[in-house]
């Protein structure tokens, strides 16, 4: 039986490099591919990926996805920020580029499968007749950022790092003498220099957001802000002025150009509304179900009840109020270690005084 040919997305980091090495160990025919995404020239990571491919003795391709990346990731990212929301561009990228355009590239390169260095698990459930997305066995689980994958995409993807710790992955890279074995991890958004989101959005779109009013929960003006681009839900530092007590951003309203600030404890939410839903564990979400919800990457899962309110909308009610529910971020639903699906947060549902956590009442 011929070896299956796998296209491995190689970012130039240790995770994707070790993924390629592990697949070689498992007997796959491995082909490396690095996405060229940024408009201002190749990333230094491209050279690292090429060096790793050479060390492993595998074929390597550069995939020019700049136009697709701008359309599917950068443009919606900027649009969300201008609308007073805080998006997660990695989710846009995974859905449309890493597991969208990469699958198309795999077809062109006669590859059966696509692999990445994400820490998550994909399994086929015979009883359900579905591919399931599950948590990795380690703390570096990244299933949250993969919840938008379709059944077709899941059926074509290998994630070889699911059962490894980061230290074990570095050890594999050392064993193969890979030139990136000691390379550090980047937590930054790849296309935003110095993580200066306001400057990037303004430069990319030619648009800025004007100064406006800070308001309290009753709508009273309590100060001036420098433009909604500079704020996100739950923010306490960097407000630009002192209020004599800790104040948190609880709402951003681009229509009135106001940023609502609340005192400590009032930045909690009893629930949220979500849209653009994607079911993973079943064809469509049940009308109502219990789950654990993650409202941001690496958040602690929170028990909740999910109720559909439309064909592509849901209302989520938490058992315990959650801090800083942020429009534009994703809410992902779990049952144990299995991803049920998720959606994009539309709005947080403000907590009532009687629902506040005990330490804030």
Q: Which of 93, 111, 260, 304 is catalytic?
A: 93
Structural domain contains residue 343: yes
Same domain, 150 and 258: no
Same domain, 142 and 236: no
Question: How many domains does one find in the chain?
Answer: 3
In the prediction, which pLDDT does 355 show? 53
What's the domain range around 108? 5-175
Cβ-based neighbour number of residue 54 at 10 Å = 12
In the prediction, which pLDDT does 97 show? 94
For the ranges 38-52, 72-86, 145-159, 215-229, which has the lowest average pLDDT?
38-52
Q: Does 35 belong to an annotated binding site? A: yes
In the prediction, which pLDDT does 360 show? 46
The average pLDDT across 103-123 equals 96
Structural domain contains residue 293: yes
41-68 residue pLDDT tens: 667 789 999 999 999 999 999 999 999 9
Integer CA distances (angstroms), 234 to 139, 237, 269, 355, in order: 25, 10, 11, 18
Dihedral-angle region of residue 5 (phi above 0 means left; psi in -120 to 50 means alpha; beta otherwise): beta
- Provide the CATH number for the domain around residue 224: 2.30.30.280
Domain boundary among 117, 151, 175: 175
Active site residue 78: no
Dihedral-angle region of residue 132 (phi above 0 means left; psi in -120 to 50 means alpha; beta otherwise): beta
Structural domain contains residue 155: yes
Cβ-based neighbour number of residue 256 at 10 Å = 12
Q: Does 240 belong to an annotated binding site? A: no
Same domain, 11 and 39: yes
Active site residue 93: yes
Structural domain contains residue 79: yes
Q: Does 9 belong to an annotated binding site? A: yes
Sheet holding 29-36, edge to edge: 59-64, 29-36, 5-9, 113-115, 157-158
> What is the chain's mean pLDDT, rounded?
92
Same domain, 29 and 155: yes
Share of the chain above pLDDT 90, in %: 81
Inter-axis angle of helices 75-82 and 197-205, nearest 10: 110
């Amino acid at each position: 039986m011929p070896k299956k040919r796998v296209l491995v997305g190689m970012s130039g980091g240790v995770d994707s490099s070790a993924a390629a090495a592990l697949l070689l160990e498992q007997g796959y025919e491995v082909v490396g591919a690095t996405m060229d995404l940024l408009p201002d020239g190749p990333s230094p990571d491209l050279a690292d990926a090429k060096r790793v491919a050479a060390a492993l003795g595998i074929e390597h391709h550069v995939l020019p996805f700049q136009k697709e990346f701008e359309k599917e990731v950068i443009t919606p990212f900027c649009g969300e920020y201008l609308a007073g929301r805080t998006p997660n561009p990695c989710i846009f990228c995974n859905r449309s580029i890493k597991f969208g355009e990469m699958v198309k590239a795999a077809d062109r390169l006669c590859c059966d499968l696509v692999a990445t260095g994400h820490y998550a698990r994909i399994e086929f459930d015979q009883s359900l007749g579905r591919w399931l997305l599950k948590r990795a066995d380690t703390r570096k689980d990244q299933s949250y950022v993969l919840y938008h994958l379709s059944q077709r995409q899941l059926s074509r993807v290998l994630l070889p790092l699911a059962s490894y710790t980061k230290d074990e992955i570095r050890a594999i890279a050392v064993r193969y003498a890979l030139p990136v074995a000691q390379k550090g991890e980047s937590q930054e958004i790849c296309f935003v220099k110095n993580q200066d989101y306001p400057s990037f959005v303004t430069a990319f779109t030619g648009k800025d957001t004007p100064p406006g009013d800070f308001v309290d929960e009753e709508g009273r003006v309590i100060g001036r802000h420098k433009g909604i681009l500079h704020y996100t839900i739950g923010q306490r530092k960097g407000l630009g002025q002192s209020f004599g007590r800790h104040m948190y951003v609880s709402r951003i309203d681009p229509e009135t150009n106001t940023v609502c600030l609340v005192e400590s404890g009032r930045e909690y939410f009893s629930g949220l509304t979500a849209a653009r839903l994607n079911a993973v564990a079943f064809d469509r979400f049940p009308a109502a179900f219990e789950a654990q919800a993650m409202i941001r990457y690496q958040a602690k899962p929170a028990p909740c009840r999910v109720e559909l309110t439309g064909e592509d909308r849901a209302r989520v009610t938490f058992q315990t109020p959650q801090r800083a529910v942020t429009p534009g971020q994703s809410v992902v639903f779990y049952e144990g270690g299995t991803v049920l699906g998720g959606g994009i947060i539309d709005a947080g549902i403000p907590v009532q005084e009687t629902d506040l956590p005990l330490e804030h009442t």
